[in-house]
Amino acid sequence: MTLNELFTYLNENSGYEIWDGTCEETIKKALAKTHKDALSGEIVAAIAGHASAVSPEATITRAEATTSLGPLRLRAMRDDAPVSDLRRMERTVHAIDGAFNEEALVLRQRS
């Protein structure tokens, strides 16, 4: 799956806005820590940093995407973290699973 495909799915299915411009602009802003939403920016930067390259067409696996969020998930689980951050991380991880599940179903139907 490409970063563009994953971020599009997350934007449409996580309940949170991921985009801050085009995919390329969103990644650049996330990496520069200038994304309009700080947590979305951290999520995008973490995922993009684990992809095969930092571009919209770079590929990423389910394991890379979920592993990349490990530090953010741990931070969201701290007792002093806002509950909204924990909910958001949970919904994001579920949306990542959904994206890769849908991709797998499409590939199986083609076979």
Helix/strand/coil for 80:
coil
Per-residue pLDDT 10s for the chain (111 aa) are 999 999 999 999 999 999 999 999 999 999 999 999 999 999 999 999 999 889 999 999 999 999 999 999 999 999 999 999 999 999 999 999 999 999 999 888 887
Q: List alpha helices for 32-82, DSSP H.
A: 38-49, 62-68, 70-77
Contacts of residue 55, Cβ cutoff 8 Å, sequence gap at least 6: 3, 24, 27
pTM of the entire predicted model:
0.94
